[in-house]
Amino acid sequence: MNNVYWKTFSKGLIKENPTFRLVLGTCPTLAVTTAAVNGLGMGAAATFVLVCSNIVISLLRKVIPDKVRLPAYIVIIAAFTTIVQMLVKAYLPAIDKSLGIYLPLIVVNCIILGRAEAFAGKNPVGLSALDGLGMGAGFTAALVVMGSIREFLGNGTVFGWPEGGLIPAITIFVLPAGGFFVFGMLIWLTNKLSQHLDNNATRKELTACAGCPMAVKCHTEEGCRHE
């Protein structure tokens, strides 16, 4: 299991979790996680776009000229986002309604462009697909966890069940303020967890470049370009 494919897939789950470690895609994270099912819908839609765009961008990586790569990436991502949006509108109108503007906004989701730039533009197709799948799974897991916490505390329900709620609702958790609070707590928890998982990493290293979640992909010797 410890080969390059597994590593490419699994890094998105905790160690380089796009939401809690890379802190990308914060806008949909905060906006749609008022209910767990919204998080699941958003995560699935973004994962689909991520995997598909990673595959296509990886296939075209030798064709796309370096100078216009960003517009080219965006066109590819926008195409898949449009497909997702039409599919969700047709088959899951309820999800479409609750996600609202955030569904078309997947186009500008930093996770997808970030992976295209950092991974798919430089790696073969198989690895890029796995990278997209791992990052998508990490994003989806993050949204579902955050959505579940906010839904349970703020509405008393678990995936909309039961009708009246299990506990008295503490409405602040489904309001933006509660979203930021839960987000901060989960970032702290993921940082702790990833420190714990990384046995070799000492506290000292974590403060330097080695502690940066982008360290694997960072090619510049002089300094960090992901500031």
CB contact set of 183 (below 8 Å; sequence gap of 6+):
26, 29, 30, 146
Burial class of 131 by CB neighbour count within 10 A (0 to 12, 13 to 18, 19+): buried
How far is 225 from 219, CA to CA, in rounded Å?
9
Write down the least CB distance from residue 177 to another protein, Å: 6
> Which helix (H) or strand (E) is 9 found in, with range?
helix 4-10
5 with 126: CB under 8 angstroms?
A: yes
Write down the least CB distance from residue 196 to another protein, Å: 18
Write down the least CB distance from residue 181 to another protein, Å: 7
Query: Checking phi first, is residue 42 left (phi over 0); if not, alpha (psi -120 to 50) or beta?
Result: alpha
Write down the least CB distance from residue 178 to another protein, Å: 8
Phi, psi of 158, rounded to the nearest 5 degrees: -120, 110
One of 171, 189, 192, 209 touching another protein (CB under 8 A): 171
Which among 30-38, 84-92, 156-164, 175-183 is the span making contact with another protein, rule CB under 8 A? Answer: 175-183
Write down the least CB distance from residue 170 to another protein, Å: 4
| Residue number, 169 or 206, with CB nearest to another protein | 169
Q: Which residue(s) pair with 158 in the sheet? A: 161
174 with 151: CB under 8 angstroms?
A: yes
Q: Any contact of residue 178 with another protein (CB under 8 A)?
A: yes
106 with 46: CB under 8 angstroms?
A: yes
Q: Any contact of residue 189 with another protein (CB under 8 A)?
A: no
Size of the residue set binding another protein (CB under 8 A): 9
| Residue number, 133 or 170, with CB nearest to another protein | 170
Q: Any contact of residue 175 with another protein (CB under 8 A)?
A: yes
Write down the least CB distance from residue 169 to another protein, Å: 8
One of 86, 177, 189, 197 touching another protein (CB under 8 A): 177
Map the footprint of another protein across residues 141-170, applying CB under 8 A. 169-170
Q: Any contact of residue 30 with another protein (CB under 8 A)?
A: no
Provide the token pair at 154: 């703020």
Chain residues that interact with another protein, rule: CB under 8 A: 169-173, 175, 177-178, 181
